[in-house]
Amino acid sequence: MLDPQTLLLLAALAGPHDSSAPVPSANDSLLASVIAPLVPAGQKLRVRTGFGVTEGTAGTVGPRGLEMRCQQGDGWSLPCSEPLAWSQIQRIDLRTRHHGQAAKIGGALGCLIGLATVSSAAAYSGPDGGEVLFAGVVGGIAGLCVGGLVGGLIDVAVPSWKTVFERR
């Protein structure tokens, strides 16, 4: 007696071949070979087609197109649908990490604001120049830390996208 899984497998194999599936061209194979190293499996992607924008996780890249993956609740990743054909894809953006640009800008601005604020407050409070210099340095360091922290949080919160393919 055959178990249910074997019966389903036999039924799937005995079904008619999908002749409506597009046959990959030489250009599709070339595109796949160029883009495959740029799009690692499991990387977050944003794909623009004529139908709109799709965001997801990269699956396989092949001559038939780009397969997007869906995360399941138990940790498994399954294909969301049929691969997106190369003729439909207009642009592929890969999610990347910021390289600390906002943290650097935030740190510099925080340092300048802290230096100016504490120095001017210390200058108004007393005539001693040594205390003003010390207070300015402390204010600059504190501003640097706070500004860098705020910039780092912005770096983490705002996604960055790098275009790896664009049809012209």
Q: Are residues 32 and 90 in the same domain?
A: yes
Share of the chain above pLDDT 90, in %: 2
- Is 115 within a domain? yes
pLDDT band at 78 (very low <50, low <70, confident <90, very high): low
Q: Where are the beta strands (DSSP E) in the chain?
A: 44-49, 52-62, 65-71, 77-79, 89-96, 160-166
**CA separation (Å) from 90 to 86, 121, 145, 159?**
8, 56, 42, 21
Section 96-110 average pLDDT: 84
Q: What is the pLDDT of residue 70?
A: 67
pLDDT band at 58 (very low <50, low <70, confident <90, very high): confident
pLDDT band at 93 (very low <50, low <70, confident <90, very high): very high
β-pair partners for 56:
45
Section 136-140 average pLDDT: 83
Q: Determine the structural domain holding residue 91 and report its residue range.
A: 25-96
**d(Cα 41, Cα 123) in Å, to the nearest integer?**
59
- Is 56 within a domain? yes
- Is 105 within a domain? yes
Number of independent structural domains in the chain: 2
- Is 166 within a domain? no
